[in-house]
Structure 1
């Protein structure tokens, strides 16, 4: 091992062991390298001293090129400057999830520098009550970015599933291969068959339309605000947006705990829905379902989807009675115990079985599978 590689190994071990080992294991290298490693150690101490019950922000440390006291904005900026990207992201996640550094999300500059992803958005939802003004606007921007990224991944698959089978009885002005009506085109052109060449000459090509626009289907989505449903809340909001853009879909969107908030006017704005979530409090599924029942006008063209873990804090008998009424009316009733990328539910299986026994669908779905499911209901 060369002296240079040995020095690098020693310096890395020193970062692992922390500042308490400074007397027995010193940084080595030229002055700039030593200063860089001392700065890296300050950043790690800022984070990991919390695990020992200390807060190094209250201690005066010497060494390094930076000051001995740093704030969250400086910390995250320096972490990204000094550590590889993957390492920086691990440190950021641990700062939020393990050491509860909530100040990372109450500083506009920090929020603007963090990588927008669904895990960050979940944390923002949990800490939203600490935000205001420009910080809250920065959080809303992140919600829009994450929601848009999810929409782009899912939109084509969901719309293709929901548009459903072609309406072969109506011609379409939209001339694309997906709408080509082979049977009608061949049948109408049989009179143009050229016996000499043995070829069918196509003088007219016919295309089929999709499901008729006036055939409205009401899709009521009720989202449980429980903390365990965070991922499902985010995906449900994006699904509502995608479905609301379809010509035959009439989306009604509510969120609930013991109270109900009707966000139907914002069904096309998932970020607004996500940032309207208020975690905490109880859960009254029966009350929310009764409100959903009041939105049903044409039962056979209505699908009620309740995204919930089924841990009912209200009256179970009310929930069962309303569920029976909806199913008896001819509307479709579904309880999704998870709607996210994993579809890994934790729910009240006893209540779930009771609801399944009366004819409700109870289960978890990934968002793309929800598109297939709704498409089958209305096919």
Structure 2
């Protein structure tokens, strides 16, 4: 962004004649998002009704906070998408403290009317530290509704990855359509060929048997809870809840910013996990990786899944040393720039490449694809 465009964002759309916009659609979106909040200054300084940028569509006069709750949610989502995390924290704080946009964190009646969604949950997690005690019941209800919806969509897919693949050498007495063996069935019933009717009479359909796989591996799920990772934090919590319920499988769940919090005790309950996280703050990936190394008991039977944007707040050399030591001890590692299916996540590609050179697989995966990867790695 050039200097002119920066000044245009500072001065707002009423500077159009002197500073025409040159940054395209994204700059217009940024200006609109800032207008939604900072246009309220016009009313605060005695501007006439409708004069300020924030008056448009307010439905309640200059500086009104009357926009519907979905509009507030959409606006917060737009701010998080368009601006860096440091700016987002400032804008959200101004919205709450300076302009009184507090409905999301103070009014349980308004929250009770909002349709639960992943986007709403991202917003509530981002504002977790601001929540009034009176709204915690509604927040917990929203968290549970979103978690249950995600779990229903993901659980069968994830569990299928760990319950074994079809054995192409043994058949099962269980008639499961997905395991049908067409070639074996034809061979077994060739004696029943009806030449007159040109058809095969199948007396005994055959079905492949599935290999039951038990995975005596340690899985350490290490999740970055910085503000930009909200979607991945939500999906990581649901994924942890599913993995924690698999037999013969030991899961440890760790979240971090500049400190490390071990949430293994609540890993089986995604609602409690998400009510425990605190999005925002700095990022010390090295400290989290060092913690993971310290809790692994059998390195050759361990996998560390690191969910982060790889923007390291501390010295990169410390992180690289920690990853190198894990690789040397033969811990399998994967670094995920996204665990929510984001097509093009924003992450520090240079840092990720350096970790890949040290032996860490790097990807952006859906939970189902991560389960496939874990099943593949732990079957070797």
Q: Structure 1 length as normaliser, TM-score?
A: 0.68
Q: Does 1:208 align with 2:206?
A: no
1:53 has 2:37 as partner:
no
Q: CA deviation at 1:109?
A: 0.8
Alignment of 1:165-180 (within 5 A): 165-166=165-166, 176-178=176-178
Deviation at 1:120, TM superposition (A): 0.9
Contact 1:124–1:139, Cα closer than 8 Å, also in 2:
yes
- Partners of 1:323 and 1:95 lie apart in 2 by 35
SS at match of 1:261: strand
For residue 155 of structure 1, give the secondary structure of its aligned residue in structure 2: helix
Partner of 1:278, secondary structure, is coil
1: CA distance, partners of 2:194 / 2:72: 77
- How many residue pairs match? The answer is 311
CA 1:171–1:200: 2 relative to 1, 3 Å: closer
CA displacement, residues 96-136 of structure 1 (integer Å, 9 cap, x when unaligned): 86794232332111111111111111111121212243311
In 1, distance between residues paired with 2:73 and 2:182? Answer: 56
Aligned counterpart, 2:8: none
Distance 2:269 2:257 in 1: 21
Q: Specify every segment of 5 or more residues in structure 2 that has no aligned partner in the other structure, as ranges.
A: 1-34, 50-59, 80-91, 96-100
- Cα deviation, 1:54-95, whole Å, max 9, x if unaligned, reads 569x99x9xxxxx99xx97xx57xx5xxxxxxxx74465338
Change (3 A) 1:179 1:351: same
Gaps of 5+ in 1: 1-46, 62-66, 80-87
1:257-268 correspondence runs (5 A) = 257-268=257-268
CA distance in 1 between counterparts of 2:228 and 2:36 reads 27
| Residue matched to 1:93 | 74
Question: Take 2:298 and 2:37, find their aligned partners in 1: how far apart are those partners?
Answer: 61
Find the counterpart in structure 1 of residue 226 from structure 2. 226
RMSD: 3.9
Cα separation, 1, equivalents of 2:173 and 2:254: 36
Q: Deviations over 1:8-47 (max 9, x none)?
A: xxxxxxxxxxxxxxxxxxxxxxxxxxxxxxxxxxxxxxx9
Tell me which structure has the larger Cα radius of gyration.
1
Listed as ranges, the matches of 1:1-379 within 5 Å are: 51-53=39-41, 89-90=70-71, 93-94=74-75, 100=95, 101-166=101-166, 176-178=176-178, 208-213=209-214, 215-379=215-379
Measure how far apart 1:295 and its partner are.
2.6
CA distance in 2, matches of 1:153, 1:205: 30
